[in-house]
Amino acid sequence: MLTLRQLSYFKALATQRHFGRAAETCHVSQPALSVQIRDLEAHLGGMLVERRAREVLLTGFGAEVLARAEAVLQAVRALEDLGQSREGRTGILRLGLIPTVAPYLLPGMLAALRAEDIQRDLQVQEAKTDTLLERLEAGEIDTAVVALPVDGVHVVPLFEDRFLLAGAARGIAALPADLDPTGFGAGRLLLLEDGHCLSEQALEVCGRDRRHKHIEMTASSLATLARLAAEGFGMTLLPEIALAEETAGPTRLALRRFSAPEPSRTLGLVRRRTTPEEGWFTDLATLITRVGEGLTSAARGGGGTGDALPVTQDIGA
């Protein structure tokens, strides 16, 4: 019966061209290696090497067998690498994130992955929730960070991300101290374009629908919404994880926390229900939670419930 050990010994012999040196490479005795080579030749029905006093030479048949043996050994190594990837330390991880999360979580996530020496090739896809769930079901991604709730997948909640009201300083300053998300006046509510789950959440939080005359869907990114709000074109809801990025540098954007209970969204990590339970998913959820809670904790240190969070000067280009 042909064995991987025989193929490995034969490859070493073909490389070293000497039984003694091949045996040293394989960490076995020379007689043991010789026996395995003879058994391989007997099983295949032909001589693999010409035995000479100082060296061995491959026969024509041996050269053909070597090419196939190398392919088999390479495939075995690939299977071993795949097995290691099940431990979550190596391999490819295809991760999806919604656009209102990706720019804010990714920098911290990548830094944490490097710090923990998780040698995985991270492939990131940014898309709206429906698209990510379709790609997950089709096997095009392995996991995704989305806003909950979602159906039909295995879900691990990550952390709570509260919403703040963002707008021009004058408009924010005129709001009552006890700020209710359903009663901040008849001002224009700036939303992301249709299809973003954050738009639906903002409508629900503010008790409005798309027929409301003071609703304006104007942007494809939170960064654009923040700039429009800072210039007085309306107000918008800004998640805590976005605060550090969207208020960095000179800006006229002002923020106000809502009264308790503050409106929020819960972010979660999802995978297919048929995906085997493996350590990489739990490890990734723990890592993202740590990064996300770091961002929200920093944001909550900037002002308590009902406190204005003024930011002055012109917004950066």
Cite the residue boundaries of each domain of the chain with CATH code 3.40.190.290.
93-317
Specify the length of the chain in residues: 317
Architecture of the 93-317 domain: 3-Layer(aba) Sandwich (3.40)
Rounded CA-CA distance 248/258 in Å is: 22
The answer to whether domain 4-85 has CATH 1.10.10.10 is yes
| Tokens of residue 161, six digits | 């991300």
Specify the domain boundaries for CATH 1.10.10.10 within the chain: 4-85
Q: Are strands 189-192 and 154-168 parallel, antiparallel or unpaired?
A: unpaired
Half-sphere exposure of 87 (CA within 13 A, CB side): 8
Going residue by residue through the chain, which has 317 residues, state the pLDDT in tens, using 9 for 90 and above. 788 899 999 999 999 999 999 999 999 999 999 999 999 999 999 999 999 888 999 999 999 999 999 988 888 777 665 555 555 455 678 899 999 999 999 999 988 887 875 556 788 999 999 999 999 998 889 999 999 999 999 999 999 999 998 999 888 888 888 887 766 555 678 887 755 576 566 656 565 555 544 455 567 788 888 898 898 888 888 999 999 998 887 778 999 998 888 889 999 999 998 887 667 889 899 999 999 999 999 999 854 333 444 333 333 32
